[in-house]
Structure 1
């Protein structure tokens, strides 16, 4: 059970300290100890709270979905799938200060396909297809079990949707996404900081499909 009152107070402190230039990792425990936050609450703070300067940079590089026409779209596959699947399962996801939706499941290296995996892939392609990207490239970290099987499933769906693209297992999806995407789809903070252009796809999915947002946590 989350202590939302303490979480909000801790978020205020963290925003201030980040705006003063303090390192994120070094102050999470400081703020967490002050407000007696548990491990999950500290994880939420780490993924959700940003300084105003970080938010401004994020907004500057964000593109609208209409802007993907004729562009190569590179997708940080596990990052996006885990968040969408968490949402479909009814698990809590967070709407961060930069307006990106992020999961708090910490399942990345232990990811396994679920009954929601195919649906999530189809939701992604349904959202992107009408805007005519040049190609859609899905990158999967090869060190995660059965990445090859998931890549094959994605390739099949790309073909079913008659979309140009590929799904590749790579040593580092972060590097591949940043290097090859004219538009990047990820909610990973490091990727977003380095990407030339990024698309907030998951928020668009939920908005366009008029899905319930009752399991989305926003820390004011």
Structure 2
């Protein structure tokens, strides 16, 4: 049986956000802008900064939902395919999962966390467990190649890229890890190239909107582990 979502967050917070979430979705159906709508409803309900950010992460305008869902591929679709990973996005999300932090099922069908948006310290150096879990999953799915792309502006990204290359070799996975000053641009360019037809692993909505195929690795791991995400409906 799946674990109780309340294990990842106090049920009081979810209950407090259900009514605002319903109101926001109702207003968005009339075509009003997302951020102004969330701000208006959040002020009415006197929500905290964190609660407002959760709503921003979870709720999507209707026009975004269908397009993003169509791009999502199943957890078994990566066999013999080239896979691009939005490095920090995926690693930190899986790290949050391992730490039993809140994992939210969002309107566009992807899993997102909010933990790192409220931390004043970087946890990027302490993600070996997350990396191992991701690589174990990928080794079972037999991708053609795996490329991790890391934002070079984050401290010690070069060291992490080297560590990922070592781990890829240890797990017997054909792949590479790079740093880039324009990581998001590179992911959108490579993932949106129809000739390469690669699958991109990310939950970043801006990247999802620009690529062809997307896999939600945290969602795949949660399904395998029998963990249900939190849902605002």
Distance in 1 between residues matched to 2:176 and 2:119, nearest whole Å: 21
Per-residue deviation at 1:114?
5.0
- The match for 2:123 among 70, 95, 112 is 112
Paired residues of 2:97 and 2:218 also in contact (CA < 8 A): no
Secondary structure of 1:74's match? strand
Counterpart for residue 184 of structure 1: 200
Counterpart for residue 230 of structure 2: 217
- The match for 1:29 among 8, 17, 39 is 39
Per-residue deviation at 1:109?
9.1
Paired residues of 1:140 and 1:170 also in contact (CA < 8 A): yes
Per-residue deviation at 1:123?
1.2
Q: Return closer, same or farther for 1:162/1:4 CA change in 2, 3 Å cut-off.
A: closer
CA-based RMSD: 2.0
Per-residue deviation at 1:5?
3.6
Counterpart for residue 113 of structure 2: 103
Deviations 1:32-51 (A, max 9, x none): 11111110110000000123
Paired residues of 2:81 and 2:144 also in contact (CA < 8 A): yes
Taking the TM superposition and a 5 Å limit, the aligned residue runs for 1:167-182 are 167-181=177-191, 182=198
What is the TM-score normalised by the length of structure 1?
0.89
Counterpart for residue 71 of structure 1: 81
Per-residue deviation at 1:107?
5.9
What is the TM-score normalised by the length of structure 2?
0.84
Aligned residues: 216
Deviations 1:185-211 (A, max 9, x none): 00111111222100121111111133x
Per-residue deviation at 1:93?
2.3
Unaligned runs of 5+ in 2: 1-9, 192-197
Q: Return closer, same or farther for 1:17/1:179 CA change in 2, 3 Å cut-off.
A: same
Deviations 1:115-145 (A, max 9, x none): 4x11211111111223322211101111111
Greater Cα shift, 131-140 or 22-31: 22-31
| Runs of at least 4 residues off by over 6 Å | none
Counterpart for residue 159 of structure 1: 169
Deviations 1:60-109 (A, max 9, x none): 11112332223221111111111111121122222212232111121689
Taking the TM superposition and a 5 Å limit, the aligned residue runs for 1:1-40 are 3-40=13-50
Distance in 2 between residues matched to 1:133 and 1:56, nearest whole Å: 27
Distance in 2 between residues matched to 1:186 and 1:89, nearest whole Å: 19
